[in-house]
Structure 1
Amino acid sequence: MTCKILSFSASALVLTTSIAFAQTEIQWWHAMGGTNGERVDKIAADFNASQSDYKVVPTYKGNYTETMTAAVAAFRAKEHPHLVQVFEVGTATLMAAKGAIYPVEKLMADAGEPFDKSDYLPAVISYYQTPDGELLSMPFNSSTPVLWYNADALKAAGVEVPKTWDDMKTAAQALVDSGMDCGFSFGWQSWVMIENYSAWHNMAMGTKENGFAGFDTEFEFNNEAVENRLADIAEMGKNKLFKYGGRRGDSLPMFTNGECGMWMNSSAYYGSIKSQAKFEFGQTMLPLDTAVASAPQNSVIGGATLWALAGHDAEEYKGLAKFLTYLSSAEVQAWWHQETGYVPITTAAYELSKTQGFYDQNPGTDTAIQQLSLNTPTPNSRGLRFGNFVQVRDVINEELEALWAGDKTAKEALDAAVSRGNDLLRKFERTAN
């Protein structure tokens, strides 16, 4: 009797092991830490539970820069994952990595997986298409900067939610006068105050359609409009109307703890603000600089997409294609959007969120979608495709920090950022050609 039981157990173990081995693993490297990392794990786990042929294995590899660097190094060592999450400013770098990527549109076609680009929001996929319209990577966590505001503080200060930069100054002064430590702050300052400020006012950040039309592009954001806006912000900093709080999301606590009444940063901070703020808050569109434009154009996205890396087996890519279909489904995308504040990447997910009453129950949570879809993107507002832009953003950060510290004027900081940035563009151009 004992022998029979042991024999049966061994057989069961062999059977279980065979089933496990039959599953094709898909390695997914990502940059989502904390709560969003748990959400990524849930998406993968739910897909794995939905079928038995494939198993997606998500792995957190650090922040965006660290994840992209790790993927490039792993590709050279031929130990790379099937899928890697790369932030939007890494697009040109991956495009120039010859033989490294498997364009997602081609992957879906080769795998026989149904795929229709018209299902995706134009403002999202246009950033990641070739000049011929081929989609290179799968949109996943796309966001855009918005103006977050402390509704209780604005009410107490007796001012309306700002719509223009003149309104921003008025509201910031009223907030400080009412006892707040600062009027406003922002994070990801290159993205918010140069990249999106330029697109919002339909101004080019660089030549060659912001790099989309060729690597031989040059920066031109050291123009009078950007200079005047940044100079005015620096002046406001002298009276606490503005307070700089760091390069990425470091200044979030300044908003959620009630130190600053307004904050410009990604719509994807919705989940964090909702869990941390002890006051009524809202989000609205970026302020318009009426000295530059009479109406806004559209904002551009941030966040990241998922890139398939070349060099794996066809069966593995078939599983990857099925996972990308699952990831883009209306139900998954609506859940991800509502949990995080990232933009739903498909029209169906947006419509489902409407039907579910999410925007009625959470006013303002469709602000990012409205900003991105405000007008048909122009060559100035489609997005950016600059090589070495991760390093260029570091340069912009350094120069703007010198401005906020009072060590440089806005003109000096911008001229230096453009000069140093162009050097990095030329370096990239030499390696890409």
Structure 2
Amino acid sequence: MSADDPAGTRRTFLEQVTAGGAATATALTAGCLGSLPTDVLGDDEIEIDVWHGLTGGLEETFADLTLDFNRSREDITVRLTGYDDGYDQVFTETRGAVTEDEGDPPEVAMFAEIGTRQAIDSGQFVPMEDVVPDLPTDDFIDPILDYYRVDGTLHSMPFNPSHAFMMINRDAFEAADLNPDDPPRSFEGVADAAEAMVEADAVDHGVTCPNISWFIEQWFAAQNAELVNNENGRAGPPTESNLTSDAAATIYEWWHDLDERGVFHVGDGWFESEDAFANGTAGILLYSTASISTLLERATQEGGFEADAAYFPAPGGDQTGLAIGGASLWVPEAIDDDRQSAAAEFLTWLTDPTQQSRWHRETGYFPVREESVDELEQEGWFDANPDYRVVFDQLTGSASTTATQGAMIGPFPEVRTEIEGIWTDIEDGTSVQDALADGKERVDDQLTT
């Protein structure tokens, strides 16, 4: 690894197990740990690197899981390196390492879902079914596998999947004579509830949503509409977007209507919308299921109100399904057989039902295994935590179509930036129709450049 990384851009964590069996944890805020001394690693022990984009409590939980794996094995030690700029930086650094003649890629890298097409097209990563030939895919939850399975091949290991969902302020609903036990599921129902809460002076904003392309993509999936051509990019590289379709117009006309009614708060990034909901300023939040536990805690401690999870709204109230968000784990081709085998051992352990149940309980990310769900049911987890039941039912109720599997786009980050510019144009006075036409032109340019 390079020694000239900017301070604070990555954090390296390693558990070292001495010959006597005592375990010590080593953590650095920047740079890398050097090579392990020979008296720490046994003659036959393999050290593997895992690069990830998790921060805060998510990183702590991932590190705790990794410690447990290291303690359970005498032949493998896993070292974690976290990047402050998240999944995008992990992707950039890993792609650089696998393309350099003398690059030093990790054995495992965590990529956001939108990196899937680029990773596949690079030909520099081993399909997961080759890394773990006996992977029990029949026990993996189908809507989660659907995204990462392309042309019948599972290319990476799903690990921290999430969905879009809605969260409501129960107190604000009650103040507006709305039934919090029957939250709206249609666009119009959300608009009416938002207006009622504002008119009752229960909140300043009826509904808040970040201006993040991922949500627009979810509403395409909910309408069983493909974001791009060529079967949503799954039958071949897409060359054209569907941003002037009826599905796109329905989404942005709804946003425009909310704005015209004076009940809409559009967050500039994720946390602006989260803060607006958590402090009681907004009565409805459209967000990611990965943040359920954080939102419930913040609502109680900061906002002083009770919050509930609800289904992500859709036109007419019925959604075909939603596309998966989050990240998965990839193994580079450049890794030698011994290290690839060690990586397979770690990935198999990490997605074992026991670990997946724990990962879900402590983070809110969906478990990837059916057996984990059974385990959580038997524990009474969903009865004690009904908000997780709501979003899990939404996940398992998702139909499998090319729309709900999610788009496969090479220049996805650039495409998302252009999609986010559509609402900015509308806010600046451009009509919905013209903003969509301009957005389509920009996105299509990205697809064909």
Please report the TM-score for the alignment, with normalisation by the length of structure 2. Answer: 0.86
Aligned residue in 2 for 1:82: 107
Q: CA deviation at 1:277?
A: 1.4
Decide whether the 8 Å contact of 1:143 with 1:368 is kept in 2.
no
Decide whether the 8 Å contact of 1:343 with 1:368 is kept in 2.
no
Task: Give runs of aligned pairs for residues 248-287 of structure 1, distance below 5 A.
Answer: 248-278=270-300, 279-287=305-313
For residues 164 and 216 of structure 1, do their structure 2 counterparts lie closer, same or farther at Cα, with a shift above 3 Å needed?
A: closer
Uncovered stretches (5+) of structure 2, i.e. residues with no partner: 1-18, 21-36
CA distance in 1, matches of 2:280, 2:139: 40
CA distance in 1, matches of 2:116, 2:272: 25
For residues 94-132 of structure 1, give each alpha carbon's deviation from its aligned partner in whole angstroms, at most 9, with x where no partner exists: 11112x1011110113xxxx312111111111111121x
CA distance in 2, matches of 1:162, 1:201: 17
Q: CA deviation at 1:379?
A: 2.1
CA distance in 2, matches of 1:189, 1:48: 37
Q: CA deviation at 1:331?
A: 1.2
Q: CA deviation at 1:407?
A: 3.0
CA distance in 2, matches of 1:286, 1:336: 23
| 3-state SS of paired residue (1:43) | helix
Task: Give runs of aligned pairs for residues 31-430 of structure 1, distance below 5 A.
Answer: 31-61=53-83, 62-77=85-100, 78-98=103-123, 100-109=124-133, 114-131=134-151, 133-160=152-179, 161-179=183-201, 180-187=203-210, 189-192=212-215, 194-278=216-300, 279-290=305-316, 295-403=318-426, 405-427=427-449
| 3-state SS of paired residue (2:265) | coil
Equivalent pairs, count: 404
CA distance in 2, matches of 1:417, 1:349: 42
Q: CA deviation at 1:189?
A: 2.9
Please report the TM-score for the alignment, with normalisation by the length of structure 1. Answer: 0.89
| 3-state SS of paired residue (1:154) | helix
The code of the aligned residue for 1:402 comes to: D
Decide whether the 8 Å contact of 1:146 with 1:367 is kept in 2.
no
Q: CA deviation at 1:214?
A: 0.6
Q: CA deviation at 1:216?
A: 4.0
| 3-state SS of paired residue (1:244) | strand
Decide whether the 8 Å contact of 2:223 with 2:247 is kept in 1.
no
User: Which sits farther off after the overlay, 145-154 or 21-30?
Assistant: 21-30
Structure of greater relative contact order (alpha carbons < 8 Å, 6+ residues apart): 1
| Equivalent position to 1:20, from 34, 41, 60 | 41
For residues 296-330 of structure 1, give each alpha carbon's deviation from its aligned partner in whole angstroms, at most 9, with x where no partner exists: 21111100100111212211111111111111111
For residues 354-388 of structure 1, give each alpha carbon's deviation from its aligned partner in whole angstroms, at most 9, with x where no partner exists: 11111101112133332232243122222110110
| 3-state SS of paired residue (1:58) | strand
For the aligned residue pairs, the C-alpha RMSD in angstroms reads 1.9
User: Which sits farther off after the overlay, 85-94 or 224-233?
Assistant: 224-233
CA distance in 2, matches of 1:376, 1:398: 30
CA distance in 2, matches of 1:105, 1:67: 22
Decide whether the 8 Å contact of 2:242 with 2:248 is kept in 1.
no
Decide whether the 8 Å contact of 1:206 with 1:220 is kept in 2.
yes
| 3-state SS of paired residue (1:32) | coil
Q: CA deviation at 1:263?
A: 0.6
The code of the aligned residue for 1:94 comes to: A
For residues 65-104 of structure 1, give each alpha carbon's deviation from its aligned partner in whole angstroms, at most 9, with x where no partner exists: 1221111112223121111111111111111112x10111
Uncovered stretches (5+) of structure 1, i.e. residues with no partner: 1-10, 428-433
Q: CA deviation at 1:409?
A: 1.7
